[in-house]
């Protein structure tokens, strides 16, 4: 959870003085969280976070939810809506009740984890509050143990929530609060029936809050059916980024991120850099991987003691450290002029966080660079950032081995040139080399080459050429073209491999939903990606039959992905994932029996 999801303004960082800040329309002058009726313990937490003024959606929504009203919030991501529903829920939580009192439905595991972290952060002074994230891809054991011990708030994706309800492992009979977060995105991913089933299977007297960036017909119908006399709140955020910052993005799959970052660090001419990740653990993990690759990197997160934080920032300012791997909260208030680059290793899920992060560079009149890693399934976040900021993010290509080697040779040349411009540094070594040349009758160029080899050590200076892969010979650059699935006719998705055979590294799987369930390829991709942790690039051809569908996925699925996908539901029906055995489809919808 980022500090910016709270969305409140800070007295020391107003939009007039800080180009990286965001303000919402409609915040009343002089309104503070203390005026909204929140518990003193929550106010203490908010003061500790450094926030005093609520955003527009918080100022409108929190009093209504505290009063027990149903709420429909029409707001873009990044306007502070997580705090708008989390704070009232925590304010009214009954710590004595051990069965879930609040359920928050989120479209993706990433958002579910972010919301869960937000609840935990706001509940810092409410001792005994238990919050559980529930999503596909995570083992059932952890979730079942937590539910058995007692949980007050459950934050989960619709598919896994439905699965727990079917198994009888999630008791929602005493549920008091239900929140639909990013409802339009949930419907776009094919969770409409799951959401309606969950709403129908929970107590009628529950309080419901629905948040959506848009209000299509389906969302309006959902609101009219399941919400009672809701208060409708519509807010819009204002965003601004510094004009002297260049915004770029790289489309990359999750497993390729570390390699992609390493290549970018090799070719980008950066002075100081902040790399943003989502979780505390990720800061340590990524910083360690970067150090192992020879970069000067350190982690900074909320667990870092203040003296260690100040020491790390001091090293960054004095150029003893080049790369800081940070979470949003840990980077709050960070002001270092030499930050030339900000990299969103994990693209933020809200536009306000993006603006806050980018505000760390391009300071004091300097130019800055912002690079965001975007996985295929995060395209919607990229579009949301562009819409909210009015800033177009330019695509960039992954640096090749040739690019890296050219940069290394250039830097080697520059180092020699710099040394030659300081005669006092090389006079002594000139005598040493001359003595060796005379003593052993070796050409000076060979001695220079030998010294360079000694200096380089065992690590080769240049990378080996990449193995040959399919190339797009029609393009003059000769760059490798990434092959991605694209839709074709008849409900199929074609990975541009030969018809009838899966693309390289993929195999065909069978799922037990098809045209009779009125599903589309996007619903299959959304459900499998969300529940199994798959990336968009993991999908090949999708062919929808009458009573089943054929999907090309990686040939070697890890056991935990198998387990998650087997229990995945699409349109409320279990998909029963299995390897396709080439069973023919009958007109009656059942496999034909073999003759004889």
pLDDT at 504 over 80: no
**Rounded to an integer, what distance in angstroms lies between the CA atom of residue 487 and that of residue 218?**
25
In a domain? residue 480: no
In a domain? residue 198: yes
pLDDT at 480 over 50: no
| Confidence class for position 101, pLDDT limits 50, 70, 90 | very high
DSSP state of 378: G
Nearest Cα to Cα of residue 312 among 279, 334, 328, 286: 334
In a domain? residue 564: yes
The sheet carrying 486-487 orders its strands as 486-487, 492-494, 542-544, 549-554, 506-511, 578-579
Extract the tokens encoding 13. Answer: 């960082």
Q: Which is higher by pLDDT, 490 or 124?
A: 124
| Confidence class for position 551, pLDDT limits 50, 70, 90 | very high
Q: Do residues 257 and 194 both lie within one domain?
A: no
For residue 232, list its beta bridge partners: 72
In a domain? residue 466: no
Q: Do residues 60 and 167 both lie within one domain?
A: yes
Q: Which is higher by pLDDT, 456 or 242?
A: 456
Q: Do residues 65 and 137 both lie within one domain?
A: yes
Q: Do residues 144 and 165 both lie within one domain?
A: yes
In a domain? residue 479: no
Q: Which is higher by pLDDT, 130 or 80?
A: 130
Q: Do residues 391 and 410 both lie within one domain?
A: no
Of 61-70, 106-115, 462-471, the least confident:
462-471
Q: Confirm whether pTM is higher than 0.75.
A: no
Side-chain half-sphere CA neighbours of 65 within 13 A: 34
Task: Give me the pLDDT at residue 536, please.
Answer: 67
Q: Do residues 84 and 221 both lie within one domain?
A: yes
Of 88-102, 213-227, 237-251, 566-580, the least confident:
237-251
Of 172-181, 189-198, 496-505, 561-570, which has the strongest mean pLDDT? Answer: 172-181
Q: Which is higher by pLDDT, 161 or 48?
A: 161
pLDDT at 422 over 60: yes
Number of separate domains in the chain: 4
Task: Give me the pLDDT at residue 415, please.
Answer: 79
pLDDT at 484 over 90: no
* pLDDT tens digits for range 513-550: 888 888 888 788 878 887 777 776 788 889 998 889 99
In a domain? residue 483: no
Nearest Cα to Cα of residue 276 among 356, 379, 363, 364: 356
The pLDDT mean for the chain works out to 80
C-alpha Rg value of the chain to the nearest Å? 28
Q: Do residues 189 and 100 both lie within one domain?
A: yes
> What is residue 363's three-state secondary structure?
coil
Of 90-104, 207-221, 316-330, 555-569, which has the strongest mean pLDDT? Answer: 90-104
Q: Do residues 160 and 107 both lie within one domain?
A: yes
Q: What's the mean pLDDT in 78-87?
A: 85
Extract the tokens encoding 365. Answer: 């009149």
Q: Do residues 228 and 331 both lie within one domain?
A: no
In a domain? residue 595: no
pLDDT at 206 over 90: yes
* pLDDT tens digits for range 302-351: 778 878 888 998 899 899 999 999 987 777 667 788 899 999 999 987 77
Q: Do residues 93 and 153 both lie within one domain?
A: yes
Task: Give me the pLDDT at residue 285, please.
Answer: 92
pLDDT at 473 over 80: no
Task: Give me the pLDDT at residue 546, please.
Answer: 86
| Confidence class for position 436, pLDDT limits 50, 70, 90 | confident
Q: Do residues 213 and 250 both lie within one domain?
A: no
Q: Which domain holds residue 258?
A: 245-400
Task: Give me the pLDDT at residue 476, please.
Answer: 33
| Confidence class for position 29, pLDDT limits 50, 70, 90 | very low
**Which among 215, 238, 261 is the end of a domain?**
238
Task: Give me the pLDDT at residue 90, please.
Answer: 96
In a domain? residue 75: yes
Nearest Cα to Cα of residue 45 among 132, 154, 121: 121
The CATH number covering residue 381 comes to 3.40.50.300
**Which among 238, 268, 298 is the end of a domain?**
238
Q: Which is higher by pLDDT, 422 or 584?
A: 422
297: CB partners within 8 A, 6+ apart: 275, 286, 287, 290, 291, 321, 322, 323, 324, 325
pLDDT at 25 over 80: no
pLDDT at 592 over 70: no
**Rounded to an integer, what distance in angstroms lies between the CA atom of residue 336 and that of residue 577?**
51
Q: Do residues 28 and 160 both lie within one domain?
A: yes
């Amino acid at each position: 959870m980022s500090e910016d999801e709270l969305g409140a303004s800070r007295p020391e960082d107003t939009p007039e003085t800080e180009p990286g800040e965001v303000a919402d329309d409609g915040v009343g002058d002089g309104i503070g969280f203390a005026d909204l009726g929140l518990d003193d313990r929550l106010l203490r937490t908010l003061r500790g976070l450094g926030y005093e003024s609520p955003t527009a959606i918080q100022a409108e929504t929190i009093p209504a939810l505290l009063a027990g009203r149903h709420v429909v919030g029409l707001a873009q991501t990044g306007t502070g809506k997580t705090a708008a529903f989390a704070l009232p829920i925590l304010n009214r939580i009954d710590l004595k009740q051990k069965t879930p009192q609040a359920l928050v439905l989120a479209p993706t595991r990433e958002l579910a984890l972010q919301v869960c972290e937000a609840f935990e952060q706001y509940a810092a002074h409410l001792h005994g509050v238990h919050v559980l994230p529930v999503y596909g891809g995570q083992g059932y054991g952890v979730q079942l143990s937590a539910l058995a011990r007692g949980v007050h708030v459950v934050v989960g994706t619709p598919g896994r929530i439905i699965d727990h309800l079917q198994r009888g492992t999630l008791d929602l009979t005493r549920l008091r609060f239900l929140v639909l977060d990013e409802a339009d995105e949930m419907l776009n991913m094919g969770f409409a029936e799951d959401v309606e089933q969950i709403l129908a299977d929970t107590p009628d007297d529950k309080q419901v809050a629905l948040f959506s960036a848009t209000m299509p017909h389906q969302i309006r119908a959902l609101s009219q059916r399941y919400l009672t006399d809701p208060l409708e709140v519509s807010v819009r955020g204002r965003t601004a980024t510094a004009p002297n910052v260049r915004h770029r993005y790289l489309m990359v799959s999750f497993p390729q991120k570390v390699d992609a970052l390493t290549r970018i660090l090799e070719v980008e001419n950066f002075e100081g850099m902040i790399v943003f990740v989502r979780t505390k653990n990720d800061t340590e993990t990524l910083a360690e991987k970067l150090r192992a690759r020879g970069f000067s990197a350190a982690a900074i997160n909320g667990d870092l003691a203040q003296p260690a934080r100040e020491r790390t920032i001091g090293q960054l300012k004095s150029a003893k450290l080049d790369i800081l791997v940070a979470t949003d909260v840990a980077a709050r208030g960070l002001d270092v002029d030499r930050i030339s680059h900000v990299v969103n290793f994990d693209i933020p899920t809200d536009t306000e966080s993006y603006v806050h992060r980018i505000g760390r560079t391009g300071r004091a009149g300097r130019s800055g660079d912002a690079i965001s890693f975007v996985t295929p399934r995060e395209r919607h976040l990229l579009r949301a950032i562009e819409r909210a900021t009015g800033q177009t993010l330019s695509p960039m290509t992954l640096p090749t081995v040739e690019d890296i080697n050219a940069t290394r040779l250039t830097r080697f040349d520059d180092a020699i040139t710099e040394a030659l411009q300081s005669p006092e540094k090389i006079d002594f070594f000139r005598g040493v080399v001359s003595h060796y040349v005379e003593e052993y009758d070796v050409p000076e160029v060979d001695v220079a080459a030998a010294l360079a080899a000694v200096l380089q050590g065992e690590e080769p200076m240049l990378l080996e050429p990449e193995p040959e892969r399919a190339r797009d010979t029609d393009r003059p650059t000769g760059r490798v073209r990434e092959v991605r699935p694209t839709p074709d006719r008849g409900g199929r998705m074609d990975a541009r491999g030969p018809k009838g055979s899966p693309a390289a590294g993929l195999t065909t799987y069978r799922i037990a939903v098809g045209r009779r369930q009125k599903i589309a390829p996007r619903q299959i991709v959304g459900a499998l990606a969300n529940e199994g942790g798959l990336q968009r690039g993991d999908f090949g051809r999708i062919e929808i039959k009458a009573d089943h569908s054929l999907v090309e996925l990686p040939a070697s699925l890890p056991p935990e992905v198998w387990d998650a996908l087997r229990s995945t539901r699409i349109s409320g029906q279990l998909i029963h994932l299995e390897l396709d055995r080439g069973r023919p489809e009958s007109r009656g919808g059942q496999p034909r029996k073999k003759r004889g």
